[in-house]
Amino acid sequence: MLKIDDFIVKENGRFFVDFEEWKNGNGISYEDGDLIRFTFDKIKYIGTLIKQGKEENIFEIKNIKEVSK
């Protein structure tokens, strides 16, 4: 599993992932509807990636559930 924590930001209580600067050299990519696990402020979460508009590299994370602190 790839660690995407460095690409996650929280704005107005909503989580976003910006893959714009991520260089994908191993053939693995993320798509609309993918379920991901991530850590933010030392709390583990699970959520679903939802593509934002026509931007290929920006996703909002929806259906977020806290896994542990």
pLDDT digits (tens, 9 = 90+) for 33-65: 999 999 999 999 999 999 987 767 889 999 999
Instruction: Specify the pLDDT at position 2.
Output: 57
Name beta bridge partners: 66: 45
Neighbour count for residue 44 (Cβ, 10 Å): 14
Distance CA 28, CA 3 (A): 12
Calculate the alpha carbon distances from 44 to 3, 5, 27, 36 in Å: 12, 10, 26, 11
Domain residue limits, the chain: 5-68
Q: What percent of the chain has pLDDT over 90?
A: 54
Name beta bridge partners: 14: 11
Q: Decide if pLDDT at 21 tops 70.
A: no
